[in-house]
């Protein structure tokens, strides 16, 4: 049973470009979470999604960031017009149901570098 798969693992973008990060949850998991880890900071919650629904996006920046979890395929975190401050590690996690009661499993992260 494969774990949470994220790709790309490393991504370099120039300022102004778009970054797309993909996350395939564990098999059987329909709940996905995205977290961001800025350099020298702790992980911060961004968004919580179920299939085709955004449940909680209270941690998402208001502009340039969007997330989706379609009925088929991986969850996508999209960052438009990237700036240097977007350079961070982006972690995806998944669970079989809402927590508590369901363990959250993390992927290995996608490291975005904006040059």
Partner 1 sequence: KQEVTQIPAALSVPEGENLVLNCSFTDSAIYNLQWFRQDPGKGLTSLLLIQSSQREQTSGRLNASLDKSSGRSTLYIAASQPGDSATYLCAVLTGANNLFFGTGTRLTVIP
Q: How far is the CB of 36 from partner 1 (least distance, A)?
A: 11
Cα–Cα dist 25/80, whole Å:
23
Our CB check for partner 1 shows the closer of 86 and 91 to be 91
Residue 42 burial class via C-beta count within 10 angstroms: exposed 0-12, middle 13-18, buried 19 and up: exposed
State the nearest-atom distance from the C-beta of 57 to partner 1, in Å. 11
**Site residues for partner 1 per CB under 8 A:** 33, 35, 40-45, 48, 55-56, 58-59, 91, 98-100, 103-109, 111
Nearest distance in Å: CB 81, partner 1: 26
Burial of 39 (0-12, 13-18, 19+ CB in 10 A): exposed
- Of the two residues 4 and 82, which places its CB atom closer to partner 1 in the complex? 4
Rounded distance, CA 95 to CA 102, Å? 6
Rounded Cα distance between 46 and 92, Å, is 10
- Residue placing its CB nearer to partner 1 in the complex, 42 or 72: 42
Considering the complex, state which of residue 18 and residue 56 has its C-beta at the smaller distance from partner 1.
Answer: 56
């Amino acid at each position: 049973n494969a774990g949470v798969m994220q790709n790309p693992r490393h991504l370099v973008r120039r300022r102004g470009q778009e970054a797309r990060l993909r996350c395939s949850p564990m098999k059987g998991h329909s709940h996905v979470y995205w977290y961001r880890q800025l350099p020298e900071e702790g992980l911060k919650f961004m968004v919580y999604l179920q299939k085709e629904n955004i449940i909680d996006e209270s941690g998402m920046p208001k502009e340039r960031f969007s997330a989706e979890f379609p009925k088929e395929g991986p969850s996508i975190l999209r960052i438009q017009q990237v700036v240097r401050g977007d350079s961070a590690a982006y972690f995806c996690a998944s669970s079989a149901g809402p927590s508590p009661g369901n363990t959250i499993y993390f992927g290995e992260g996608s490291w975005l570098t904006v040059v």
